[in-house]
Homo-oligomer: A and B are copies of this chain.
Amino acid sequence: MKNDILLRAARGEETERVPVWMMRQAGRILPGYRKIRERVKDFQELVKTPELACEATIEPVNLLGVDAAIIFSDILVVPEAMGLDYQMLESRGPIFEKTIQTQKDIDSIRIGSTENWNYVVEALKLTRKELNERVPLIGFAGSPWTIFAYMTEGKGSKTFSVAKRMLYSNPEMAHALLDKITQTTVKYLKDQVNAGAQIVQIFDSWGGILSPESYEEFSLPYIAKICDELSKLVPVIAFPKGAFFSAKAIAKLNCNAISLDWTVDPAEARQLLPGKVLQGNLDPCVLYAEHAVIKAKTHKMLEQFGSKKYIANLGHGVYPDIPMDNVKFFIDTVKQYQSK
């Protein structure tokens, strides 16, 4: 592979410089993506058309010079594969036609199989071929708790109080659903690896709305199961967004790397997550500022994390209205940085 710096850093090897990519790098910040979106009727058509997903995946490699491609897809492939259809509304996010409320509902959904996400498999195969070993290809899935939150709440929410209600009211049922999601997610990620994903990231977007006790009962053990299965195959990055309150428990995950949001202090992360490769964690809003500010904040981050066992990234996905020029400047700043 021409540039395998991300894989080497993720495995904990020393690298000649810090690798860098960005969550949501394939998206509205890029002109090609915006053109692709005009050609499809909705977001899901794009996700389900391998040629277009491939095109969106590769654009940031060409335009931004990032050290990895992440397959253009969505964490909600999993609930759909299990039998829950949803619509993605531009202004409101996902809306599910039905939600999971009872044991009967849980029984009615399936553990997904390759046939349910074959479009992702095809997109990965095509992208690996088109990438032609320029940079590694990242696969991903949501954490079981995050998928559970959408399946029970039926839509995005500030509080996810419907989802959390089930944890307290009917924990056995919650575990039954989480188990079914976890089985599906393991199969899904293994299929991604077989189709060409060389590293995978698990996004726990909504772990941070749980108490530490609930997090360590309902989210972390299921992430751990996925890590145990997938770490045998490829490096695994876990992203427990907003859940650094459980850092000591997160440190025990059988994964290579932990991705951090911008609320986490790098020094504290090094102390509480010993031995892990760390990824992150610039506040995406820094990229709205002028170049001098982006440079200063990026340099500070690089100094704080150090150049070993580190992957530069944002603390969450890049926002769609951030100027591409600033995004490019951030990537270049990391790549040109010489650590002391």
Contacts and interface: CB of A to CB of B under 8 A. Distances in A.
A212 B212 CA distance: 20
A208 B159 CA distance: 15
Contacts of A244: 245
A321 B159 CA distance: 13
A214 interface: yes
A263 B212 CA distance: 6
Interface stretch (A40-48, A52-60, A279-287): A279-287
A164 B285 contact: yes
Nearest to A319: B161
B245 A288 contact: no
Interface in A287-305: 288-290, 293, 297
A161 B288 contact: yes
Interface residues of A, number: 32
A159 B211 contact: no
A288 B165 contact: yes
A169 interface: yes
Contacts of A161: 284-285, 288, 319, 321
Given A165-B288, A168-B293, A169-B293, 10 more contacts: A159-B319, A161-B284, A161-B319, A164-B283, A164-B288, A168-B286, A211-B283, A211-B315, A214-B283, A244-B245
16 contacts: A158-B158, A161-B284, A161-B288, A161-B319, A161-B321, A164-B283, A164-B288, A168-B288, A168-B289, A169-B289, A208-B263, A210-B263, A210-B283, A211-B263, A214-B283, A245-B264
Give the 3 A-B CB pairs with smallest separation, nearest first. A168-B289, A164-B285, A165-B288
